[in-house]
Amino acid sequence: MTDAKSKYRELCLSNPEIPLINRDWWLDATVGEDGWDVLLVERGGEIIASLPYHRTKKMLFDVIDMPYLTLTMGIWIRYPPGQKYATRLSYEKEIYLELIEKLPKVDYYYQHFHWSITNWSTFYWRGFRQTTRYTYLLENLKDLDRLYANMKEKTRNEIRKAEKQLEVVESDDIETFHRINEMTFKRQGEKMPHSLDFIRRVDLACRERGCRKIWFAKDREGRIHGAVYLAWDEKCAYYLLGGGDPELRKSGASSLLLWEAVKRLSSVTENLDLYGGMHEPVETFFRSFGATQKPYFQISKINGKLFKFAYYLKQAIGQLAAVVATMVLCSNFAQGMMV
Amino acid sequence: MNAVSTLRTITNTEAKMKYRELCRKEPGLPLFDQDWWLDVTCGGADHWDAVLVEQDGCIVASMPYRVTKKSMFEIVSMPQLTLTMGVWIRYPEGMGAGAKLAYEREIYSALIDGLPQVDYFSQQLHWDNTNWSIFYWRGFRQTTRFTYVLEDLSDLERVYAGFTDSVRDEIRRAEQQVKIAWSDDLARFQEMNSRLFDPPRFPMPYSFEVLKALDERCKRRNRRKILFAEDADGEAHCAMYLVWDDRYAYYLLGGETPRAKESGAHSLLVWHAIREMAKFGKRFDFHGGMHEPHEIMYRSFGATQKPYFQISKINGKLFKFAYYLKQAIR
């Protein structure tokens, strides 16, 4: 294990500011112990910034990208207390420059930064690109009255109606959860993006640490209408996964489940991150809960010349033609080398 | 929602006529959205258009845009000397977060419906626009840029305390050597400003004719000041072209000679401009800062980083092919 990695494991143990989805054990569970590494910035023997990353191979390319089920990753910064705004910006610049310097030179880099990172200028000057994405946040879970009042009338009605016929029960049954989760993807005609093995591994890690809940909404006949999977740390809960039985969609189970999750988690953490919302129907659902739109940055950079060629050619002429053209180019290049 | 069903998108001649009227009546419209500003910066009254959204006979949103031809392609892009352009939205009072997002969804959808289908669209939106989801769903791309602003000039001591030590040192040093003078001498300003550029490597980002025409209009409306920091011999060390609207003053252009470095005149000039604008209750926008040396300077005045969005979209198939092929083989 690298020196930085073992230091980071210690940091995760002692520092509640590192979000759960960036902690060492989460990364172990989602991408495997060898699938990630971390960059640290240290001053006087103390870690003042960290950036974990997931490194992988895609075809012939070396890539840093986002681990599945992880919405954002890095950068965590320790700010000195009482820092002046002008000093803060130069402090950030110094840290970002050191991190960029240390980043492995992969063909393609792309990460989603946590929404606390609002300044990407330094990355811009070093040739990175950026686009803004949104997640939706229910803030201050202690204030249940306000959260309830912020919901749309329609959503409140749905919850009241669902309460009459459904019961929200806690469970450890990850297999059943997975089955319900899969139904939602099937209904939309999409492939299930993860395997049962994957979610079992993540679930085991969360369960051991007592920081996850699975809730089912069941009717009197015991039929499961919907299910949610949430995990949390000291600051925030994450609405990781959810699903519903397409046959029983009208019962308002998803609204009820989310509201129950809010109520039951209000004593253990501060906020609830709805974990996404770039997809239009999802945004509509989150908006009906009165959630706050929270922008976060996608930062990317293409280093490899061949990757760049293939990437843009794909945009210009479509994937298949780009793959063929790149292969022809490669083989010509290889022949040229041999001659 | 009932209110939403009455939204109407207005384009073409009707939109432009109504937009000119809106500019006269609506104090919330930024300087760079004003019809007279666009007439000049876009290179003539025929080179821009606007799309409006009307609700119950009242304009609730506006988005001007500039259409040009580049070789065989039709393009919407930013005019010179203009950092952001649109979207202005009139929000009903007392809107909650959820209702605001729902409203924005309807407004932006109506605006996008009225935009022309050009080969390439690229525009920078005013920082009041923080939600680009609707553009995303309609196939646009986005990136965040920054300008730097001093949002509150009501307590000048606090503003001064926010400067870095070196800025404060420079101000003290400059006070011994230079005085700030107001002037109408555009040619002199232009001469200093043009020294910042070195064509063809660093071409001038605007034309002198445009600045001249803009200057006349700004002067007539009392929307600009030209400032020089001059020493005892009347030699200018640096200069600033300042414009403003009802809310903000903008540091549109600057210029300096090598002497400014020694005298610290630039810091004094900025401090002077801030104090002047504070008298009129303005906030101060440094008008940019994506260029690294500029960011360092604006930051040293304690200015807050203000994100604004650049939105773009490629419609034309041929344009798309040419655009990406260029990136691929570059």
* Domains in chain A: ranges and CATH: 3-127 (3.40.630), 137-295 (3.40.630.30)
**Cβ of A139: how many Cβ atoms within 10 Å?**
17
Whether B25 and B86 share a structural domain? yes
Whether B220 and B263 share a structural domain? yes
Give dist(CA A297, CA B187) in Å, integer: 43
pTM exceeds 0.80 for this model: yes
Partners of residue B10 on adjacent β-strands = B52
Domain residue limits at B240: 154-281
Token representation of residue B122: 């690229």
Pairing of strands B283-285, B248-256: parallel
Give dist(CA A205, CA A29) in Å, integer: 7
Whether B66 and B82 share a structural domain? yes
Q: What is the mean pLDDT of residues B155-176?
A: 96
> Could you report the per-residue pLDDT of B233-271, keeping only the tens digit for each?
999 999 999 999 999 999 999 999 999 989 999 999 999
Check CB contact under 8 Å for A312 and B141: no
B2 in a domain, yes or no? no
- Residue A268 · residue A78 · CB < 8 Å: no
Question: B243: number of CA atoms within 13 Å, CB side?
Answer: 22
% of residues, chain A, pLDDT over 90? 81
Whether B19 and B139 share a structural domain? yes
What element of type H or E holds A232? strand A224-232
- Residue B115 · residue B121 · CB < 8 Å: yes
- Final residue of a structural domain among B281, B296, B318: B281
Beta-strand ranges (E) seen in B156-246 are: 178-183, 224-231, 236-244
Give the per-residue pLDDT at B219: 97
A294/chain B closest Cα distance in angstroms: 10
Give me the CATH number covering residue B181: 3.40.630.30
Cα distances from B178 to residues B9, B240, B260, in angstroms, run: 54, 14, 10
Whether B116 and B71 share a structural domain? yes
**Residues of chain A positioned with their CB less than 8 A from the CB of B301:** 86
Check CB contact under 8 Å for A86 and B101: no
Number of domains in chain B: 2
Whether B86 and B213 share a structural domain? no
B46 in a domain, yes or no? yes
Give the per-residue pLDDT at B2: 44
pLDDT at A2 over 80: no
The contacts of residue B233 (CB under 8 Å, 6+ apart) are: none
Amino acid of residue A309: F
Out of A3-12, A263-272, B275-284, B311-320, pick the least confident.
B311-320
> Could you report the per-residue pLDDT of A270-320, keeping only the tens digit for each?
999 999 999 998 999 999 999 999 999 999 999 978 888 778 878 877 766
pLDDT at A327 over 80: no
Residues of B with CB under 8 A from a CB of A: 96-98, 101-102, 130-133, 136-137, 141-144, 146, 162-164, 289-290, 292, 295, 299-302, 304-305, 307, 309, 320-321, 323-325, 327-329
> What integer best gives the mean pLDDT of chain B?
93
Best B167, B301, B327 member to test A by mutation, with max A CBs in 10 Å, is B327
Q: Is the preceding peptide bond at B226 cis, omega within 30 degrees of 0?
A: no
Whether B158 and B139 share a structural domain? no
Cα distances from B196 to residues B78, B203, B225, in angstroms, run: 22, 10, 20
What number is the ipTM of this complex?
0.91
**Residues of chain B positioned with their CB less than 8 A from the CB of A128:** none
B110 in a domain, yes or no? yes
pLDDT at A336 over 80: no
B291 in a domain, yes or no? no
Pick the closest to residue B148 from B224, B80, B239, B250 (CA basis): B250
**DSSP string over A114-172:** PTT----HHHHHTT-EEEEEEEEEE--TT-HHHHHHHS-HHHHHHHHHHHHH-EEEEE-
Q: What is the mean pLDDT of residues A57-74?
A: 92
Give dist(CA B148, CA A237) in Å, integer: 34
**Residues of chain A positioned with their CB less than 8 A from the CB of B302:** 84-86
User: How many pairs of residues across A and B have Cβ atoms under 8 Å apart?
Assistant: 95
Q: What is the mean pLDDT of residues A161-175?
A: 97
> What integer best gives the mean pLDDT of chain A?
92
Whether B120 and B204 share a structural domain? no
Give the per-residue pLDDT at B144: 98
Q: What is the mean pLDDT of residues B75-103?
A: 93
> Could you report the per-residue pLDDT of A245-259, keeping only the tens digit for each?
988 888 999 999 999
Whether B133 and B199 share a structural domain? no
Out of A87-91, A115-119, A330-334, pick the least confident.
A330-334
Pairing of strands B248-256, A61-65: unpaired
The contacts of residue A337 (CB under 8 Å, 6+ apart) are: none
Whether B201 and B126 share a structural domain? no
- Residue B13 · residue B51 · CB < 8 Å: no
CA dihedral for B93, B96, B97, B98, sign (positive or negative): negative
Q: Higher pLDDT residue, B72 or A120?
A: A120
pLDDT at B295 over 90: yes
Whether B124 and B87 share a structural domain? yes
- Residue B65 · residue B123 · CB < 8 Å: yes
Nearest-10 Cα torsion for A232, A238, A240, A246: 120
B25 in a domain, yes or no? yes
Q: What is the mean pLDDT of residues A71-81?
A: 94
Q: What is the mean pLDDT of residues B265-294?
A: 96
**Residues of chain A positioned with their CB less than 8 A from the CB of B166:** none
Give dist(CA B85, CA B83) in Å, integer: 7
B1 in a domain, yes or no? no
Whether B221 and B276 share a structural domain? yes
